[in-house]
Amino acid sequence: MAGIGFELKKAFAKKGVLNLFKAYAMSGVVVTGPMFLSISLLAGLRLIFDHAGVTMTPERLMMNGLITYTTLFSVVWVNSFALVVVRYVADVLYTEEYEKVMPSFFGSVTMLLGTGEILYGVFLYFMRIPLYAAVPALILFGIYVIVWMQINYLSAIKNYMGILLAFFAAVICGLIAGWAIVKVFGGDLSYAVMLAVIIAYGILSVCYHVLLSGFFPRGKGSAFAFLKHLEKHRELVITGICLQVALYGHIVIMWFSPAGQTVAGGLRQCALYDMPAMLAFLTCIITIINITTSLEVNFYPYYFRYIRLINGGGSITELKKAERLMKRTLFDEIFYCLIKQFFVTLICIVFGSLILNAVLPGITPEMTGIFRVLCVGYALYASGYALLLVLMYFDYRLVYVSLLLYAVSTTVLGILCAIGDARFYGAGFVIGGMVFLVATFTALYSHLRDILLHLFVGQQMVKE
């Protein structure tokens, strides 16, 4: 959130309930905009197509499944390597070598597109997807890769109002495109949803590129200089992969469980699990938004002062005082975020059936039960993620260990629960979340307890 944080500070500095609501709404779209774009766009398109009488043919079902697979594959692919690129960009911004930013963007996108398109194309081939469906899926995959990588770079610019406008423009244009496609070509067009999503994210990508080009200089130098960081920070790659496995692994496991169904070719889904999982994930958005904004707006000033005293030769008395203020602010912010998440999760568990029936009429009792279980799982994930972001300020090697435990536990337990009784669906994700929360809290507490020791004598020694 570097850069955007300066603008968020201005927004949160304004008094009044309306201004506070506005600040949270804008920061929420900035932090989770692409996810809300997917949900709002697909929900809007479904209403348009249902109103127009577009039937759920096997081809349309296949296209819907391909959108899910393309989204998941692209997110996992990009975010597995994104942390290395983000670390490189942070380093060049710190040294004020702004001309190296855009070359690294083009280099990283080229690398991810070149390898990702081949791998995803091979995957679609073995899944026996026909060419007329595979081609738009590959086009959408390419656009997704560009957008996901752009988001990592957008966090360094100050024009968050431009990001909001790009988001709304993409949603509106996507919905208009879907309506126009149905009106022009009729109700039997099975790939109308795919075309509308391609148009929406294509527009979003163009808007994001304009924002980036307007902020960073054209640049010079090697486009693949960031690859040196790949060797230097291997742990960041493992960290990115582990986070994706932990977040999405339990869903993929359920696709290939006895409860899963074949959509087309080798593509699978689990209707019993997929929709409750998506809705349950929305319940942890409040914590992700809160911890991101609170770290940037409230915690960072104390953290910055503490580090400045260390680098500037502050006395031990000044350091101890700054340390107490930093820790108190940090734990207050974490406590408030977790309390909010607790109440949101409690409300969703108590009123789960009412919430699901309002969103999805005809929901089954099994889906309601899975929704309640996953609400707990995502609350634990959000709590652990909040602590994870704090750990990033101090030592990302601790992040690597915590996420490795999270990925392994959710995967192993998810498989065991998927082959068991339906009552245990999602339980593996919950237990894995407990492991994640305990691991991140233990790492953060032990590090902060002896923070001066870690900062002064815990650094890596380099042999000349």
DSSP secondary structure letters along 303-363: HHHHHHHHHTT--HHHHHHHHHHHHHHHHHHHHHHHHHHHHHHHHHHHTHHHHHHHHSTT-
The model's pLDDT over 421-443, given as tens digits with 9 standing for 90+, comes to 778 888 899 999 999 999 998 88
Q: What is the C-alpha separation between 104 and 327, in angstroms, rounded?
A: 36
Count the neighbouring beta carbons within 10 Å of the beta carbon of residue 122.
10
Q: What is the C-alpha separation between 9 and 11, in angstroms, rounded?
A: 5
CB 448 within 8 A of CB 327: yes
The model's pLDDT over 204-219, given as tens digits with 9 standing for 90+, comes to 899 888 888 888 877 7
C-alpha closest to that of 334 among 281, 304, 290: 290
Q: What is the C-alpha separation between 105 and 90, in angstroms, rounded?
A: 13
The model's pLDDT over 113-150, given as tens digits with 9 standing for 90+, comes to 999 999 999 999 998 888 888 999 999 999 999 998 88
**Predicted local distance difference test score (pLDDT) of residue 118:** 94
The model's pLDDT over 176-197, given as tens digits with 9 standing for 90+, comes to 887 887 777 665 566 777 888 8
Asked whether the predicted pLDDT for residue 398 surpasses 50, the reply is: yes
Helix (H/G/I), strand (E/B), else coil: 263 = strand
Helix axes 427-449, 234-255, angle to 10 degrees: 160
Q: Where do the domains of the chain lie?
A: 4-232, 279-454
Helix intervals (H) in 53-100: 58-94
Of 66-75, 87-96, 403-412, the least confident:
87-96
DSSP letter, residue 460: P
Q: What is the C-alpha separation between 65 and 267, in angstroms, rounded?
A: 7
The model's pLDDT over 340-378, given as tens digits with 9 standing for 90+, comes to 888 888 888 887 777 667 666 667 788 888 888 999 999
Q: Which residues contact 95 (CB under 8 A, 6 or more apart)?
A: none
**Predicted local distance difference test score (pLDDT) of residue 4:** 47
Q: What is the C-alpha separation between 21 and 422, in angstroms, rounded?
A: 40
Helix (H/G/I), strand (E/B), else coil: 261 = strand
Asked whether the predicted pLDDT for residue 248 surpasses 70, the reply is: yes
CB 250 within 8 A of CB 412: no
Distances (CA, A) of 446 to 391, 401, 439, 459: 11, 14, 11, 16
Give the whole-number percent of the chain exceeding pLDDT 90: 13
Q: What is the C-alpha separation between 461 and 148, in angstroms, rounded?
A: 36
Count the neighbouring beta carbons within 10 Å of the beta carbon of residue 185.
12
pLDDT tier at 282, thresholds 50, 70, 90: confident
CB 70 within 8 A of CB 144: yes
pTM of structure:
0.81
